[in-house]
Amino acid sequence: MNCKTVFYWLIAIVITAIVIAAAFYFDESVRHFVANHQSRAIYNFMRNVSRFGDWAEHFTLGLVLAAIAWWRGNKKWTRIFLSMLLALAIAGLAGRGLKVATGRARPSVKTEHVWNGPTLRTKYHAFPSGHVASSTAFFAVLIIANRRIGLACLPVPILIGCARIYIAAHYLSDVVCAAVLGILSALFVAHFLLRSISNRQSPING
């Protein structure tokens, strides 16, 4: 790793730290804003986004796409879709471990203690957002493999993150930290599985 690469990594780490700190700082402000600007129509829409934006739906989509790519004999896209599934699994498992270990109460839970330590109760599994971690990891791999297609899918994890905040399932920091976890999972998988096709701009059937 050369000095230029190290410099870029340091800049990325500093920016990430600032974004995470800002997210924690604005947690309560965002929670109050959302609570005071509720709409039944928007809430129902966001609840459906949350319902269909979980890891199971992403996993099913990735599995179907990998099967299609394999059936068509496209080794490149078979590897990409399998890498997306692997990143999804890593982010999901890591996120689950953090949820249980931290025991952060969801915004909808009335309690004096936000952080409660290890617990299996789902109402204390706010940190981080499993939905966002899984979706970000899934699509971040796609961005690394094919920037054009991946960026076109970027609104999906963003919308899911907004939905989780809107329905009071997570704080802003839960979503931001989950996105960081997803990106790290994607980078880890891409480093070992997608080196040969990283950043190539090729069509889906290429």
- Work out the percent of the chain whose per-residue pLDDT is above 70: 94
Residues 6+ apart with CB under 8 A from 79: 193, 194, 197
Task: For residue 128, give both structure tokens.
Answer: 């981080």
Q: What is the DSSP string of 59-104?
A: HHHHHHHHHHHHHTT-HHHHHHHHHHHHHHHHHHHHHHHHHHHH-B
Assigned domain for 146 exists: yes
Assigned domain for 130 exists: yes
User: Residue 152's domain is classified under what CATH number?
Assistant: 1.20.144
Which of 177, 189, 12 shows the shortest CA–CA distance to 95?
A: 177
Assigned domain for 204 exists: no
Assigned domain for 133 exists: yes
* Domain housing 49: 3-197
| Band (75; pLDDT cuts 50, 70, 90) | very high
Assigned domain for 140 exists: yes
Question: Is the whole model's pTM more than 0.95, yes or no?
Answer: no
Write out pLDDT tens, residues 85-95: 999 999 999 99
pLDDT at 194 over 60: yes
Write out pLDDT tens, residues 127-152: 999 999 999 999 999 999 999 999 99
Look at residue 92 in the predicted model and tell me its pLDDT. 95
Assigned domain for 62 exists: yes
Assigned domain for 41 exists: yes
Q: What is the mean pLDDT of residues 48-59?
A: 94
pLDDT at 198 over 60: no
pLDDT at 205 over 70: no
Tokens 């692997």 correspond to what residue? Answer: 86
Assigned domain for 206 exists: no
Number of domains in the chain: 1
Instruction: Look at 120 and 199; give whichever has higher pLDDT.
Output: 120
